[in-house]
Amino acid sequence: MNQRKRAIAKSRRPKVIPFSLDATFFFERAVQSLDRFHYDKALKYFRRAVEYEPDNPVNHCNMAGILSEMGRYEESNVILRSVLDQIDPAMTECYYYLANNYANMELYEAAEESLVRYLETDAEGQFLDEADELLDLLNYELNRPTKLSTIKSKENLYAHDKARELLEAGRFAEAVRILEDIIGRQPDFLAARNNLGLAYYYMGLFDKSVQTIGEVLAAEPGNLHALCNLAIFYQHANQRSELTSLVAVLKKTVPIHPEHVFKLATTLGIIGDHREAYRHFRRLLRTGELAGEPSLHHFAAVAAANIGRLDDAERHWLQAKRLDPSPAVPDFYLRKLAKVREGQEKAPAQYHYHLPFDEQFREWEKRPELVSATLKKDPLIRSSFFWALRHGDRRTKMQVIQALGLVADEEVIEALKAFLVDPEEDDELKRVAVLVLRSIGVEDALNVMFSGRTLTLEARRRSARLPVWDSSWQGILEQAMSQMAERYDVVQQHDMMTLWVDYLSRVYPDVPKLHNASGWAAALEYWTAKMHRKTVTYADLVSRYGASQATISRYANRIDEACGIREKLKLTNRSFQEQG
């Protein structure tokens, strides 16, 4: 009986779940309080984290950041000074935080002194962009320029600003040239190196972008811009293990400056951590510093939709629509949200403030005159096209190559030429890229790697530029390519493409209706064979293309009427006979 009582008593003992009170525990509690905008509680928990890890300068900076957001700038400055004087004098970014606090206190002389001290001691310039903006404010408030003679990072600042402008304008190749030159002169200029990695990424040069960002982090492991950029790179490359460890670091980061909060939030969203992203977007919207940007409301809406907060998502997209004078993007996502509510579609995960690729192409098919203007004026769309050219699926790459041909500037030409010599790219896509380059007037010789062999396609006469490239023209080209692939070498196939562009250019805009694609494709092969002295019969063409002999002959005559092939062949044969 006693044994039974003891067993019952033992079974009724409460289960105790042990937990550890350490700096991480209080950090997480502080973050939860920030989620609810309970700054007093967040401050209390950050103080406890400091008690457990008093030598960790990050804990102190988090506490200073909360005090700054609460408007308690003097207390924040006391902590920042203690970090510099007693804990870690190498945390030079504290000078930048001090400058911001002094500026908010309207103590502009003190702000200037701290900012100059930051720039003097932190030549790599983690906050170089923000420091430059603060300098402009101080120049205005003090009604005089700041003395910059001793600021190491200022030597290349103006060139760096120019490179940033080029990046924002989508002129990535030009920006790369400037940034590489800056780094050659000043290797420790980390802001320039960071932007160089970003430029490589926009151009689709993934390996170079990761290498460059790795160089930034080797010099400064806590560089937030570099960490965020690298996380996005790993996401696109599907490097899950590297991404997981990096995300763990980012989730413990509590930035102070709104631009850094925005950078962190968009990064977390892009890599799929929508809950953490939404927490930071709400912080930004609550402070109001970026609340007038429609893109911020779009990002918040995407994050909210992906964690099931559909009413919040609708509210954010409606606000974006009110703020944007051309609200095509929020209108599209509001329509999409209605389908999400009905269970017809999943929540969108597009953390870019422009329409998705497929939607853009559908719009451009209706109004092709918009393509060139959109790609030229919108750097985000332009950069996404360069990325898709390198990392999209085959269908997307085909669409991008054709769309880029409508822009036809130097950067597009360089990107397509680089595409031609990439051994990893599809040969058929390279043929289309050659066609596009010729159609926009690139007449110099082209180096192309086909099936592991590098060939040089000779320079061509310039054809009249085609303002559009119709899908039916592409279909004829692809059918001819498919039939000729095993019978003609690359140079002969290139000549067939050139002939097709030449014909279309000569007859445009009065291009005949191309109902019988097989007949036109067969006619192109017919003339290509004649130009290269290859034997081909109408019977063979009828058998392979399925078009009648009369149709093939009629289309071949139309091509000849426009391009004068028979006459050119007669002259070539006469010259050959005379030489013989």
Q: What is the pLDDT of residues 269-299, one digit of tens each?
A: 988 899 999 999 998 888 776 778 898 999 9
Cα–Cα separations (whole angstroms), residue 266 to 210, 255, 271: 19, 13, 9
**Rounded Cα gap, residues 37 and 484, in angstroms:** 67
**What percent of the chain is modeled with pLDDT above 70?**
85
* pLDDT for the residue numbered 3: 45
For residue range 220-233, what is the model confidence (pLDDT) as tens digits? 888 899 999 999 88
Give 197-209 as a DSSP string. Answer: HHHHHHTT-HHHH
Q: Which of 127-131, 324-328, 367-371, 550-554 has the highest mean pLDDT?
A: 550-554
| 524, part of any domain | yes
> Is 201:229 a contact under the CB 8 Å cutoff?
yes
For residue range 121-161, what is the model confidence (pLDDT) as tens digits? 776 667 877 887 888 888 878 877 766 545 555 657 778 88
By C-alpha distance, which of 409, 401, 347 is closest to 373? 409
Same domain, yes or no: 442 and 525 = no
* pLDDT for the residue numbered 425: 84
Examine the pLDDT at 465 and tell me if it is beyond 60: no
Domain residues for the domain of 562 are: 471-579
CB 340: neighbour CB atoms within 10 A?
A: 18
Looking at residue 13, the DSSP 8-state letter turns out to be S
Exposure class string for 172-199: b at 16+ Cβ within 10 A, else e: bbbbbebbeebbeebeebbbbbbbbbbb
For residue range 193-221, what is the model confidence (pLDDT) as tens digits? 999 998 888 777 788 999 999 999 999 88
Same domain, yes or no: 476 and 453 = no
DSSP 3-state percent helix, strand, coil across the chain (nearest 5): 70, 0, 30
Domain edge (last residue) among 457, 483, 514 = 457
Give 439-497 as a DSSP string. Answer: HTT--S-EEEEETTEEEEEPP-PPPPPPS---HHHHHHHHHHHHHHTTTS-HHHHHHHH
Same domain, yes or no: 366 and 453 = yes
Q: How many domains does the chain have?
A: 2
| 366, part of any domain | yes
Same domain, yes or no: 368 and 413 = yes
State the average pLDDT for the chain. 81
| 376, part of any domain | yes
* pLDDT for the residue numbered 524: 93
Domain edge (last residue) among 398, 427, 457 = 457
The CATH number of whichever domain residue 490 belongs to comes to 1.10.472.10
| 431, part of any domain | yes
Same domain, yes or no: 476 and 452 = no
| 558, part of any domain | yes
- Provide the pLDDT confidence category of residue 467 given band limits of 50, 70 and 90: low
Q: What is the mean pLDDT of residues 519-543?
A: 91
The SS3 call for residue 423 is coil
Same domain, yes or no: 494 and 442 = no
Same domain, yes or no: 416 and 487 = no
Domain edge (last residue) among 403, 422, 457 = 457
Same domain, yes or no: 404 and 486 = no
| 481, part of any domain | yes
Q: Which of 17-21, 174-178, 352-356 has the highest mean pLDDT?
A: 174-178
Residue 351 tokens read as 């953390």
Same domain, yes or no: 440 and 410 = yes
| 384, part of any domain | yes
- Provide the pLDDT confidence category of residue 43 given band limits of 50, 70 and 90: confident
Same domain, yes or no: 575 and 549 = yes
Dihedral sign for Cα atoms in the order 248, 250, 256, 261: negative
- Provide the pLDDT confidence category of residue 551 given band limits of 50, 70 and 90: very high
* pLDDT for the residue numbered 383: 72
| 397, part of any domain | yes
Same domain, yes or no: 363 and 404 = yes
